[in-house]
Amino acid sequence: MGDHMSTSKRRRETHLARARALYDLKRFANFIGIFARSPRGLIGLIIIGGFTLIAFFPSFFGAYDPVNGRSLAGWLAAPAWLKNVPAQLGGMPDLSFNDNPTLNSGFENSTLTPWNFTSTDQFMHTTVGHEENFEGHAGIVDVGFKRGEVGTAYGNITITLTQDFYYQYSGPPFSFRGSLVFLLNGTTTTSSHLDKRVNESNRDQWPFPTYNITVSALDVPTKITMYLVGLAVNRTLPMWPLREQYTTYTPLGMYGMAMDGTYVNSSETVSLLGSNEISVNASAGSWVDTDQTSEPIDSNAIRIATMISEQYGAKQFATTVFFPKEATPGWFRLGLNVTFFDKDPSKPASSDVHLDTLNMRLLGTGWGIMGTDHEGRDLWSQLMYGAGISLYVGVLSTIVAIGIGLTVGLMAGYLGRVVDEILMRICDVLLVLPGLPLLIVLVAVLGTSINNLIILLGVLGWMGFARLVRSQVISLRERPFIEAAKAVGASKTHIMVRHILPNVMSLVYVTLATTVPGNIVAEASLGFLGFTDPNRMSWGLMLNNLNMSAAFQNWWWVIPPGLCIALIAIAFILFGYALDEVLNPRLRLRR
């Protein structure tokens, strides 16, 4: 009997649940139907949806690291597509792009084409395709000097390695960066030829037990000079030397050799530019990669002689080299001089220079969809990654604020009296406190993490909504259905949660949508002032970087982040208004 009862009861319950679900579904369909009739709401929803998609898959939309991906192109590069816009419309036909014009730069091709190798001296020997090379690269050039007899010193002997390349852009690059991997060996007073080949496996352990050589001095000081010459204008004007000068080396401790880099004035190769060499500190007998040195061979690191910059009005060294305009596009020559200073005739001498990866990269003044920032990072990727932070902070902090405001408003409105008084006074005090300065102080003290920001924005932003809920609850409290619930004997909690809460939920949805923009803007403002996590690229931080590097003229950097903030804020406002219209039918009548 009881069994039967419970079955029928269960059946009735399932029936009820199904009816309720159907009713809910119908209501939802009705809601969607009304909502879809509001085009503004739909536009808002589409924009929010788009940004949410970007927020979840930022790496799909922006391919580069927004924070650490530095020097992708020249700093402050313009958008690449501006090259195709006519100059009258604000385009930049003179933009150049990243380029790597040298061929066979790693000497993989053993015939050495297209390198020109000039050695006029019979005492020079060269080997290409040596098996000993840098980190498994395929090829190598071994330049050597050897004087077996005692008697006459040969003086300064230079061999030259050059390659001509065509620079295809009409404007100069932002900067160029040369790289060279080299290893120096030399004879010592005992005339023993240091050969690294045997010791490749344990390069770091020097002096090696297999060699019984006391190294005291390098007989043949060697200098490596890297340079760049414009061929179209027939002058060697902007040259770009890399100075390497080794006179002697002495054993130093357990590891390798220290170089005594006494400076020799290289004025014979650079007459106009003065002293703008980059010197690379190197240990003899071990490979040096100029890209890994503390000061890479970068045109940004070269100081331009005042005379040159006055003459050509150039700010960057690269602009000087690829100036004047009749030189670009045109032919340029990348060259390397290895000079042996044979000065001491009293003993035989020999020296070796192993060269690998003689290369030059040009960083362009144009890049990607939105160009780069002041550190050469991709702005488009930053914009894409920023969407996630804005939405995350905006939505979560609003949820926190709404949660607090709802609880406070319900309690103050329904419980009344002392509770109301206390909560509303807290509300008043918080409203008197200065919002943004307080937020900044707290963020500065507690740390600039995103989660701190969310909590602080929530805790400082609930007051208005609490007041709204409270006034609504006060009017609801006197309604007959609450009286009925009270008469049945429902507890206060039950009435608040089951009867009052559903009636203020429409308020919650609408406020949720209309509060998010404020919090997004607040987050951006904090980012703009620099009080944000520097490892998370947000739209505010993008504009902070812009302000700090004073690049106000780069409109492609100024406009998009703010436009995105505005777009997302307006989308939420439109969505909220449309929601308001659907949820509050009275509003519809008034229009």
Partner 1 sequence: MGFRSYLAKRVAIAIIMLFVVLSINYALFFVMPGDPASLFINPLRGSSVGKQEFLDRLRARWGFDQPPEQRFLLYIRNMLSWSFGDSLISGQSISSEMLLRMWGTIELMGGSTILGILIGVSLGVLVAYKRGGKFDSGMVTVSLITYSLPVFWMGLVLILIFTVKFGVPSAGAFPYDWGLPGRWPVAYTVSAANGTQWNGNVVMSINPQGTITLLYGYVSHLVLPLMTLTLFTYGGYLLLTRATMIEALTEDYIVTARAKGVPERSVIFRHALKNASLPLITSAALAFGFMISGAIITEGVFSWPGMGRWIFQAIVFNDYSVLQAVFYIIAVLVILANIIADVLYGIIDPRIKYG
CA angle 134, 136, 141 (to 5 degrees): 50
Residue among 349 and 427 whose Cβ is closer to partner 1: 427
For residue 143, the minimal CB distance to partner 1 (Å) is 52
For residue 442, the minimal CB distance to partner 1 (Å) is 8
Among candidate residues 336, 332, 133, the one with its CA nearest the CA of residue 229 = 332
Residue among 173 and 560 whose Cβ is closer to partner 1: 560
- CB burial class (10 A; 0-12, 13-18, 19+) of residue 448? middle
For residue 565, the minimal CB distance to partner 1 (Å) is 5
For residue 459, the minimal CB distance to partner 1 (Å) is 13
Decide: helix, strand or coil at residue 393. helix
The answer to whether 163 and 382 are in contact (CB under 8 A) is no
Residue among 40 and 130 whose Cβ is closer to partner 1: 40
Residue among 221 and 561 whose Cβ is closer to partner 1: 561
For residue 429, the minimal CB distance to partner 1 (Å) is 5
With b for 16 or more beta-carbon neighbours within 10 A and e for fewer, the 409-426 pattern comes to bbbbbbeeeeebeebbee
Query: DSSP letter string over 482-533?
Result: HHHHHHHT--HHHIIIIIIHHHHHHHHHHHHHHHHHHHHHHHHHHHHHT-S-
With b for 16 or more beta-carbon neighbours within 10 A and e for fewer, the 318-340 pattern comes to bbbbbbeeebbebebebbbbbbb
Alpha-carbon distance of 416 to 526, in angstroms, equals 37
For residue 35, the minimal CB distance to partner 1 (Å) is 19
Residue among 141 and 522 whose Cβ is closer to partner 1: 522
For residue 528, the minimal CB distance to partner 1 (Å) is 5
Residue among 362 and 427 whose Cβ is closer to partner 1: 427
Q: Which residues are bridge partners to 335 per DSSP?
A: 162, 227
Phi, psi of 275 (to 5 degrees): -95, 90
Give the interface with partner 1 as residue ranges (CB under 8 A): 428-429, 431-438, 440-441, 444-445, 517, 521, 524-525, 528-529, 540, 543, 546-547, 552-553, 555, 558-559, 561-562, 565-566, 569-570, 573
Residue among 350 and 382 whose Cβ is closer to partner 1: 382
Q: CB atoms < 10 A from the CB of 261, how many? A: 16
For residue 456, the minimal CB distance to partner 1 (Å) is 13
Residue among 229 and 379 whose Cβ is closer to partner 1: 379
The token pair that represents 366 in the structure block: 């144009």
